């Protein structure tokens, strides 16, 4: 009744911000992401009859904040297996947690896959999607490899997630410029709920989103980097305009985030195939073609306030780690 799973975080190029149903944690928009090979969440789950409740150790510390969502995912898995045992969950990230690097996406993907394996369940992929989504709306994307589409439109009240481009088909690279390792002050869940309630731009975000998503999918079909660059930066800045226009405002950038954005725009104007995206935190992700990665890394490392850069290629979906033979 014990298993370990590994998942990569992901970064959305066409983003999710806002829910249509908080109870089912249904996103108000679809999304299109890339899975970030190079960064890992490793989660071990053991169901044990001695336990009186579910327990979580996150990066070596007991974490109460994540417990409710974690218990919800575990309850779904227990129901499938017909067991009522509690679980001990140990999860660790090899990148900053809760700082806009999608640790909740990789965390809930790894939790769902490890929990299913520990209970001996062999669930259909879209059931893993549903369970992981109850933990985090971006988590289903970390179950899949490469370019990933989370579709909210084709099955009302549900989400369907799938790979649209395997890593080897279009091997994009992502250089993450870390500008702070502090946990964010407002969680994504709270931030997107207040944007829905208190930004005059929320309806425009939702109504303009399906076109961005359709265009993003066609960029992947055509492997059209420059069109994807314009579109992804537009969608990112639109999400941040929505966040900033929320009352009270959500301003996720640091001065170094903005300096990185301007550097990336200048690199592209100079002919380097790179674009940026930024999530609910101050880190900048520079997406580039492989031949540009050294130039992009060097430029980002030269910017004051960039603490480190992390190199990612497109990664695989979450997997169960084989049990080492004694
Ligand atoms: C995304 N983000 O599409 C967007 C862009 C952050 C900015 O999905 O409430 O942690 O757990 O479903 O998945 C982060 O939100 O939110 C996120 P919940 P989640 O990647």
The pLDDT assigned to 27 comes to: 97
Whether 233 is in the pocket of ligand 1, judged by its Cβ within 6 Å, is no
Identify the burial level of 14 via C-beta atoms within 10 angstroms of its C-beta, where 0-12 means exposed, 13-18 middle and 19 or more buried.
buried
Taking Cα atoms as reference points, which of 194, 203, 204, 184 lies closest to residue 278? 184
Asked, for residue 277, whether it belongs to a domain, the answer is yes
- Take atom 11 of ligand 1 and give the residue whose Cα is closest: 136
Mean pLDDT of 37-43: 95
> Does any ligand 1 atom lie closer than 6 A to the CB of residue 12?
yes
Q: Which domain holds residue 44?
A: 2-166
- Whether 162 and 227 share a structural domain: no
Cis peptide before 20 (omega within 30 of 0): no
Same domain? For 62 and 126 the reply is yes
- How does pLDDT run across 163-212, given as a tens digit for each residue? 999 999 999 999 999 998 887 778 899 999 999 999 999 999 999 999 99
CATH code: domain of residue 185? 3.30.70.890
- Is the residue at 248 inside a domain? yes
Ligand 1 pocket check for 189: Cβ under 6 Å: yes
Per residue in 270-298, pLDDT (tens digit) is: 999 999 999 999 999 999 999 999 999 99
184: left (phi over 0), alpha (psi -120 to 50) or beta: beta
Which ligand 1 atom lies nearest to the CA of residue 11? Answer: 20
Domain co-membership, 105 together with 136:
yes
Query: Three-state SS for 146?
Result: coil
- 67, 33 contact by CB (below 8 A): no
Ligand 1 pocket member 235 (CB < 6 A) = no
Supply 148's token pair.
Answer: 């990933």
What pLDDT does 324 receive?
A: 77
pLDDT digits (tens, 9 = 90+) for 200-254: 999 999 999 999 999 999 999 999 999 999 999 999 999 999 999 999 999 999 9
Reported as a pLDDT band with limits 50, 70 and 90, residue 103 is confident
CB-CB contact of 144 with 159 (8 Å): no
CB atoms within 10 A of CB 97: 18
Q: How high is the pLDDT of residue 184? A: 75
Mean pLDDT score of the chain, rounded to an integer? 95
- Ligand 1, residues 30, 137, 176, 186: which to mutate, most atoms within 8 A of Cβ? 137
Residue 268 and residue 162 in one domain: no
Asked if residue 279 and residue 264 are part of one domain, the reply reads: yes
Question: What is the residue with the minimal CA distance to atom 8 of ligand 1?
Answer: 138
Give the distance (Å) from ligand 1 centre to CA of residue 19: 10
Question: Where are the extended beta strands (E) located within 131-231?
Answer: 147-151, 160-165, 173-178
Band (260; pLDDT cuts 50, 70, 90)? very high
Best residue for ligand 1 mutational test, from 69, 70, 192, 281 (most atoms within 8 Å of Cβ): 192
Count: domains in the chain: 2
d(Cα 45, Cα 67) in Å, to the nearest integer?
A: 14
């Amino acid at each position: 009744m014990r298993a370990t799973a590994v998942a990569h975080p992901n970064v959305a190029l066409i983003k999710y911000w806002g829910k249509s149903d908080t109870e089912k944690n249904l996103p108000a928009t679809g999304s299109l992401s890339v899975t970030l090979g190079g960064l890992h969440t490793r989660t071990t789950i053991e169901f044990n009859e001695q336990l009186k409740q579910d327990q979580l150790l996150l990066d070596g510390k007991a974490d109460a904040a994540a417990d409710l969502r974690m218990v919800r995912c575990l309850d779904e898995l227990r129901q499938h297996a017909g067991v009522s045992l509690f679980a001990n969950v140990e999860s660790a990230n090899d990148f900053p947690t809760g700082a806009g690097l999608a640790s909740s996406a990789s965390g809930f993907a790894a939790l769902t896959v490890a929990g299913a394996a520990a209970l001996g369940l062999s669930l259909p992929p879209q059931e893993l999607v549903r369970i992981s989504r109850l933990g985090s709306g971006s988590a289903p994307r970390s179950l899949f490899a490469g370019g990933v589409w989370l579709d909210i439109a084709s099955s009302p009240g549900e989400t369907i997630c799938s790979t649209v481009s395997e890593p080897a088909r279009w091997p994009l690279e992502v250089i993450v410029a870390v500008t702070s390792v502090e946990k964010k002050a407002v969680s994504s869940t709270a931030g997107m709920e207040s944007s829905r309630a208190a930004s005059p731009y929320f309806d425009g975000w939702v109504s303009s989103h399906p076109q961005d998503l359709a265009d993003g999918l066609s960029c992947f079909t055509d492997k059209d980097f420059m069109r994807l660059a314009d579109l992804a930066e537009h969608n990112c800045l639109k999400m941040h305009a929505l966040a900033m226009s929320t009352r009270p405002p959500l301003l996720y950038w640091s001065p170094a985030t903005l300096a990185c954005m301007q550097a990336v725009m200048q690199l592209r104007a100079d002919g380097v195939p790179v674009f940026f995206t930024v999530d609910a935190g101050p880190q900048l992700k520079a997406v580039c073609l492989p031949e540009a990665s050294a130039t992009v890394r060097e430029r980002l490392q030269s910017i004051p306030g960039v603490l480190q850069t992390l190199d990612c290629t497109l990664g695989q979906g979450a997997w169960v780690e084989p049990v080492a033979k004694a």
